[in-house]
Each structure stands twice: as structure tokens, then as C-alpha cells.
Structure 1
Amino acid sequence: MTKLLIKLPGPLLFALITAMMAGLTPALAQEEAGPVDDYLELVESVGAEYAPAFDFFTVSMLWTVIAAALVFLMHLGFATLEAGLTQSKNTVNILFKNVWIISIGLITYAVVGFNTHYPGDFNGWISIGSMIGDLNADGGGTWGYGGLGLAMTGYGDFIFQAMFAATAATIVSGAVAERVKLSAFMIYSTILVAFGYTIAGSWHWGGGWLSQLGGGEAGFYDFAGSTVVHGFGGAAALAAVMILGPRKGKYSDDGTVKPILGHSMPLAAVGVFLLFFGWFGFNGGSVLSANPGPLGLVFTTTALAAAAGGIAAIMTSWAVLKKPDLSMALNGLLAGLVSITAGADSVSVVSSIIMGAVGGVIVVFAIIFFDKIKIDDPVGAISVHGVCGIWGTVAVAIFGGANLMSQIIGVIGVYIFAFVFSFAIFGIIKAIMGVRVSEEEETEGLDISEHGQEAYNTNS
């Protein structure tokens, strides 16, 4: 009986188990098996040639929407990390921006982003898309949308990719925290998510010029977006920070750095662990199916790279700063995650540990370097996503067999575009309405000056 049950399709097995638990015999269960009849009808409707693989399609679609939910959870991680590493007087502002980013990101991705990101028959530089239509036009329950390699429905594909879309603006949000004008950031982030990120992404994932490098045989390889997502956000953040300038009092005239401490390290730690958790959806969902081989490998390389990044950052910062710095340790975990994202499906477990560890070392020196040149990034987003994104993408050529020149060309192309696009949009907004709050508003805190409310009621 055990062997028989294992061979049965999932819904049929569920029906039989349910029947037996209710005290029925298999024979009686077969007579009243409504779920079995429904299953057989569904198999017949999708076509007999698809029947043996229908369970795989169903499980893959289920995994896709779970992965999308995990990526959504990353936005909570970004919100709490940014809030924790900044001053308490700016907490409402940080949280408000994150609410705006995920909301506008989802809407713009439906209106213009998805069909810009994936323009269909496309081999060029820029294609501006239109509103999504009926993504279940093929029936919604068949392989007609993407076949074995994209085992999901059209709506499953959309919602997974939509959760990615807002990440680029969220990266910028942390870098410009505590002094950016809210209205200016809202306009900037909308344009960045709707057009900047999706245009750059179409070069790689939408059939554009990056996917055609070397005739497609030695094309640019970026599994889940070390460059196309994280690198784009890091380069865009650098441009915005350069225009915005540092926070008041961050750097003295003699060049020394005056630390502006975050108000809640517990919040920051919770944020990083939420991001770590969500990254299993970010990378795991990029398998685009529930194919057990790649999925298990991706989960393993993702976890090991993060752990190696955390350890390397701890050891490096301890040696350089003479104290075990928690913020560096947290950014080390994220550095490991960004470093593995481009090659999580194509490198060995040993390679993933090396990639994550190198990322953990890099991020410490990158954060120190940007402070020395007076690039004020309160959360280290430029270092984590921008700098480690470069390393992770190039590392795929070293450890995963990708073409080194294609990887370098891809990094240069995406980073230059992201920087120029961000610099232009943020610069135009600055010229029209300004992008920075006044010194008085910055001193008072953006919670009061921009929102008229405080995050914490200290009188209760």
C-alpha cells in the first residue's frame, strides 16, 4: 500500500488519505472521490501530453508565489534596517518612503514596467512597454505561458518580478536617508522604478543587447541580479548621494568623520535577518520552477555565502577598527548575499563560501573608503549593493564559467546607465523643486518637519 500511494499523483493521494482518515475503505473512497474526478478533468483539459508533468507545474507555480511573498518580506527588512541605522527623529520618514516604494513599484510595474522589462521580440536598447493585459490568456492552467523552463502562469511571473522591481529604489532610500525632501524622493523613485530599472533589466532578461553578447553563447550571466538589480540600485544611489551631499555635521573641516549613530541596533538586526530570509525567495524563486536540483543548490550557496560574508566582515572590521562592530557584521551578511546572487545556480558550495567571504572583506573597506571621500551613506547601501554587486558578477566568470569580458561589459553598461539616469533625473528634480530639506528641518528631524508626527511617544 505504501508503494502504491507514493506513485499516485498528489491530489489523488490526498483524496485517498482523507478518505482513510475518515474511516472509509479505498473502494468506497473511489466511489465518492470528488477531488479525484476534478483532478482527472483538469488533466484532460490541459492535454494528455502534459498530464505526467502537471503536478510539477502546480508545485512550481506554488513555489513561485511563495517566493514572491518572501521577496515582498524583504521590503519590511529594508524598512527596519534603514530605520534602525538612522536617528529616531527620522523613523516615520524612513517607514513612509518604504510604504511609497512598494506601492508605487507594484502599480508602475503593472502599468508600464512589466512590458518594458520583457518586451517580447526585442534586441536593442530601449523599449517602453504598456499596461499588462490578460496574462492567463493561454488558459492559466497549462504550460502555454513559459513551458518547462518557466513553469508558472503569466500572473505568477508578473507578481514575482514585480516584487523585484521596487528593490532598486529601496536601495537608494537608505543611502539618501535623513536629509532628502520627501516629495522629491517620491517623484524620483517613481521614475527610477518605472523606467530606469526596467530598461536596464530588459537588456539582460528581456532579450536585449546583454543577452546577445558573443552571439548569445558567451553572453552576460547574472542569475538573480547582482548587477541588474543590486548594482543598478547601488550606482543610482551613488549619483543621488553626490547631488544631495552629506548630512549636516557628518564630516568636519579637517576631514575627520563624526559618526551619526543609528537609534536601534535591534531594529537593524531584525531587518538584516528578514532580508536574509527573503533572499531565499529572491534567489530561489529565480530558478523559475520547483526543479529540485537547482533549487537545493541555490538555497545552499545563498546561505553559505551569507554566512561567510558575515564571518569575514566580523574578522576584518575587528582587525581594522579594533572592535567587533555589529553594523559591519550585519552588512557582511548582506554583502555575502549580494555577492552570490549572480551565480547562485552555477557555482559550487566551496566557491560560494569564497565569494561570500571576499564580499564580506570588500564591504568593510568600501564603507570606510566612501566615508573618507565624504560620500555619506547612512546604511552602507552603495558599498553592499553597488561594490559587492560588481564582485559577485565578475566572480561568476572566476568560479562559474561565465565569460569574463561579457561580465565586465555588463557591469560597465548597467552601472553607467544607472548612474547617468539617476544623476539626470535627480538633477532635474533638484533644479525644479529642490531635493534637500533645510538645515532647520534636518536638525528638527524629518518626522516632524515632513510628517508632523513622531515615531515614538515618549510621554506615554
Structure 2
Amino acid sequence: MTLLLPASALAQDGPTIDVVKSELDTTWLMLATCLVFFMQAGFALLEIGMSRGKNAGMGVAKILVNFAIATIVWWAVGYGLTFGGTATFFGDSGFFLGNGTELAGEGVDAAGVGFFAFQLMFAAVSLAIVWGSTLERIKFGAYIIFAIAFVGVIYPLVAHMAWSGGFLTRVGSGVQDFAGSSVVHLTGATAAFAAVLFLGPRKGKYGPDGKPRAIPGHSMPLLGLGVLILWLGWFGFNGGSTFNTSGNKFAEVIAVTNMGAVGGVLGALFLIWVLTRKLDVGMIANGAIAGLVAITAPAGYVEMWSAPIIGFVGGLVVVAGVLAIEKKIDDPVGALSAHGLAGIWGTLACGLFTSERLAGEVGVGKAGLFMGGGAEQLWTQFIAVVVTFGVVFILSSIVFGAMKATFGLRVTEEDEDAGLDIAEHGMYGYPEQFIPAPELVGVGSSRPQAGTAAPIGSTSEVTA
């Protein structure tokens, strides 16, 4: 009988346009959430590839445990402190997601839970950035303690100030940071900077003359796969930050994001060739990351033509930054440059390239200096960079300093020599490289003890 009903009757019984739009928006946000979650795999492969074989397995445990802790802490306090109201520095509601009923005085529906999940992925990405600079010498317990402090206090403070009506939205014309060049990437890199200052370099990184020596990662294919996964995840990272499908703006943001990434690749390729006459794989990979980081803040504010320019400069910045920073600071994956310096550049780039049209669409700030808007937005972006760096560095230094003064941050020399896989986790990521095959030494032979393994060296010449 239903087939005989008039179409108008069926339309009256079906969902309204508003309901369909809301469901479509939520579906897109959940797809973007999944893409951003997949970035955890990208970070894992990138960091494992840039580690030596004796530390490869540690990266798996670190990614899984950090994401688990971030999720619990975000649910308990992080989300409420970030988005539970519009106070100057912290939100004051929505803890434990308001028990599923209320956040900042409003009911939490399916769309609200979706926003919670999406923003969790951002906090987890920022936390993941912290650890690339600390590879191969930090105690696993430090991950757990700092993850609680970072997701529970440090990240929510910065994100609230920029994204939830807090302090940085009230400075000048209001900070522009569409998806987090500053909030996510500079925050993570600044915490990493504090960590390495307390941690010190890996054993053997600097020679008797004080000059840095290359400690190559063991797998450039894993590095490349990690970067491509991150690149894919960034489409959800930036595109999802539209939060809806209205006007198909998310498609424009994704296209702009891709243009920024390719600009970063070409910028890094150009500068490393000029400086070394070699096409360094690690530098090119970091160029892609730097281009993506640089375009993250401007993604919703700039016209398509400016995206590759912003990315290209990001590629130049990361190469110059890695080479300069390596002279004094041991950063195995180049995170301080790719996420920190490129994050600063991306945040400032809004003050240069934001178009009046797109600033009006998003409803934040003004046009940039090169687009006829004067220097006001650039000044606002500069203040945001200074505030973000200062707040994160001070708070992170307090946490890392306290850990170092109590149970310590760094593994022993013996454990560092043996590798964190066996020293911290009791197994190797690549056991056949370190444990002789049973048919060669007799079935039942004992596993080498920590400090006795002789890792197989890498032949890669990449420095990043």
C-alpha cells in the first residue's frame, strides 16, 4: 500500500531538510575524525623509520599507550577545560562530557559527541608531536606522566584561548588559526623543546669536537609511508575543521591543504639540493610535513594561489631549521623544525595572506598585510605565537623538571646501548637482527641480556 501513496505524503513523513543536513554534517565530521585518528599510524611509522632497529618496537607501545591516556584524560577534564564555556583561560563545564547531558549550558546530542571525538584526535596529535624529539633515550614512564599533564592542562589552556572565546580571541582582531598551526603543532613542538633541554642528546650524537654526527634511521620506506599517511589524515584534520558540509567549503580547504603540502616538498627539495647537492630523503619528507603544518592555520583563510607559496616557505624553513638546530640539539625526527618553526610560519602567514573574502566567511579577524588589510592581523598572529610558546614552554618545563628531579627522565647508558626495545619492553622489534636463529646456536638458547646486543647498523645517509 505504501507504493500507492502520493509523493507529497511520503515527503511529509520523511526527515526535514534541516535533519538531513545535520546528519550529513555529523557524518562528515566522523569521517574526518577517522582520518585524523589514522595520523597516529603515520606518526608511529615516521618515528619507527627514523629510529635505529634496536628501538623500533618501542614506538608501537608509545603510540598506543599515549592515545589511551589522552582519551581518558580528554573525556575526564580536557574537553571541558577547552570547550566548556568562553572564560578567559579555561572552560568550567562538560567534565566527563557532562555525564552525556550538558556542556556550557547546552545539551550534548550526537553532533556534540561527534565534536568531542573530533577534538580528541587533535589533542592526541599534539601529544604525539612531543615525543619525536625524545626518541631512543627517554624512560617510558615519562610518556605516561606528561600525557596526563599535557592533555589535562597544557593543551586545553592553549586551545581554549584560541578556539573557545578565550584570551587570544580577544587580542587585536582575534587570532586566526583554522586548524592548529599554533594550537596543535607549535604547542606540541614547544613541549618537545622543553623535553630535549632536560633530556640531552643521544649517546654519540656529538663528537669530541662538539660537531653533530648522523645517527641514521633504519627504514626510509617506513618514513615515507608514515608521511603519506599523515598527508592523507591532514585532509580530515583541516577539512574537518569546517565542522559541516555547507557550501562545500571543506572541499576548498582540502584542496588548499594539498597545495600547501606539495609546496613544502618542493621547497625542501630545492634548498637541500642547493646546500648539499644531494636529494636527502628525510629532508624531503620533512618538507611535506612542514608544508602541511604551515598551511594548517591559513587553510580556511587564504586563496588557492597562496597555498603553495606558504608551503614552499615552510619547506625552506624546515631544512634551514633542522641544519641549524642539529648543531646544538638532538632532534631525531626534526619535529622542532617541522612542527615548531613551520607552525610559527603558518600562524604568521595568516597575517600576510588572509583574504578579505575568506576572513568574512569564517568570521574571524581581518585580511592580511599582502591582501590590503594592513598589519593588524599580522600583529595579532605574532602575539598568539609568543603567548603559545611562552605558556607551553613554562608549563612543560615545570613538568619535565619535576620528573627529572624525582624518578629521572633518561634511561641508563647500558639501556641506551642495548636499545629501548629490550631494556624497557623485554623484546625486540626486529628479533632476528639481535637474537641468533635457533638452528644456528641450538634450540632453547637464552635471549641476550640488556646491554649485550649488537645492533645491525643502518646504511641510510639521511639526516632529519
Give the TM-score, by structure 2 length.
0.84
Q: Match for residue 105 of structure 1?
A: 70
- 1:136 is displaced (CA, Å) by 6.2
Question: Deviation string for 1:235-286 (max 9, x for gaps)?
Answer: 1100100110000000112122110010111111110000000000000000
1:124 match: 88
The aligned counterpart of 1:87 is 52
Measure how far apart 1:123 and its partner are: 2.9
1:123-152 CA distances to partner (integer Å, 9 max, x unpaired)?
Answer: 3224565221254669xxxx9869xxxxx7
C-alpha spacing 1:41/1:431, structure 2 compared with 1 (3 Å): farther
> 1:112–1:128: 8 Å Cα contact kept in structure 2?
no
The alpha-carbon distance between structure 1 residues 261 and 58, as it changes in their structure 2 partners (threshold 3 A), is same
Residue 221 of structure 1 corresponds to 176
Partner SS state of residue 171, structure 2? helix
1:131 match: secondary structure: helix
Summarize deviations over 1:13-44 as a string: whole Å, max 9, x none: xxxxxxxxxxxxxx9635599xx96x85563x
Cα 1:254–1:213 shift into 2, 3 Å = same
Q: Indicate conservation of the 8 Å contact 2:82/2:90, yes or no.
A: no
Shift of the 155–30 alpha-carbon distance from structure 1 to 2, 3 Å rule, reads farther
Match of 2:420 among 412, 433, 446: 446
Aligned partners of 1:184 and 1:435 also within 8 Å: yes
Contact 1:136–1:155, Cα closer than 8 Å, also in 2: no
Identify which of 216, 221, 228 aligns with 1:273.
228
Counterpart mapping for 1:279-318 below 5 A: 279-318=234-273
Letter in 2 for 1:255: G
Question: Aligned match of 2:326 in 351, 371, 377?
Answer: 371
Give the structure 2 partner of residue 194 of structure 1.
152
Q: Which whole-Å CA distance do the structure 2 matches of 1:353 and 1:96 have between them?
A: 36
The size of the alignment, in residue pairs, is 410
**Structure 2 CA distance for aligned equivalents of residues 98 and 111 of structure 1:** 20
Q: 1:137 to 1:196 in 2, by over 3 A?
A: closer
Determine the C-alpha separation between the residues in 2 that align with 1:425 and 1:127. Answer: 22
**Which blocks of at least 5 consecutive residues in structure 2 are unaligned?**
355-366, 369-376, 438-464
Whichever residue aligns with residue 130 of structure 2, its letter is V
- Residue number among 190, 209, 213 corresponding to 1:258 in the alignment: 213
SS in 2 for 1:123: coil
- Show the counterpart of 1:418: 392
Distance change >3 Å, CA 31–CA 342, structure 1 → 2: same
**Counterpart of 2:335 in structure 1: which amino acid?**
A
Alignment of 1:13-412 (within 5 A): 29=3, 41=13, 43=15, 51-120=16-85, 122-127=86-91, 130-135=95-100, 153-214=111-172, 218-372=173-327, 374-400=328-354, 401-402=367-368, 403-412=377-386
Q: Distance in 1 between matches of 2:2 and 2:92?
A: 58
SS at match of 2:56: helix
Structure-2 separation of matches of 1:345 and 1:232: 20
Q: Deviations over 1:389-440 (max 9, x none)?
A: 0000000010002511110111100111111111110100111100000111
Contact 1:136/1:154, CA 8 A, preserved across alignment: no
Aligned equivalents of 2:4, 2:39: Cα separation in 1: 45
1:262 counterpart SS class: coil
Name the counterpart of 1:17: none
Identity %: 40
What is the CA distance between 1:186 and its match in structure 2?
1.5
Deviations along 1:174-210, one digit per CA (max 9) or x if unpaired, are 1101000111222112211221101111101121111
Distance 1:94 1:188 in 2: 16
- Rate the CA distance shift 1:76–1:227 in 2: closer, same or farther, 3 A: same
Cα pair 1:185 1:435 within 8 Å, conserved: no
Mapped partners of 1:295, 1:210: distance in 2? 25
What are the Cα deviations for residues 92-133 of structure 1, in whole angstroms up to 9, with x where unaligned? 11111111111111111101011001121x332245652212
Displacement of 1:52:
2.8
State the alpha-carbon separation in 2 of the partners of residues 192 and 409 from structure 1: 22
CA contact (8 A) 2:33 2:240 kept: yes
Contact map agreement 2:269 2:287 (CA 8 A) in 1: yes
Supply the AA of the counterpart residue of 2:147: S
Could you tell me which residue of structure 1 aligns to residue 441 of structure 2? Answer: none
TM-score relative to the length of structure 1: 0.85
Query: Could you give the per-residue CA deviations for residues 303-349 of structure 1, whole angstroms, max 9, x where no partner exists?
Result: 01101100110111111122100100100001000000001011011
Q: Give the RMSD, CA atoms, in angstroms.
A: 2.1
Q: Which amino acid aligns with 1:163?
A: M
Other structure's SS at 2:427 match: coil
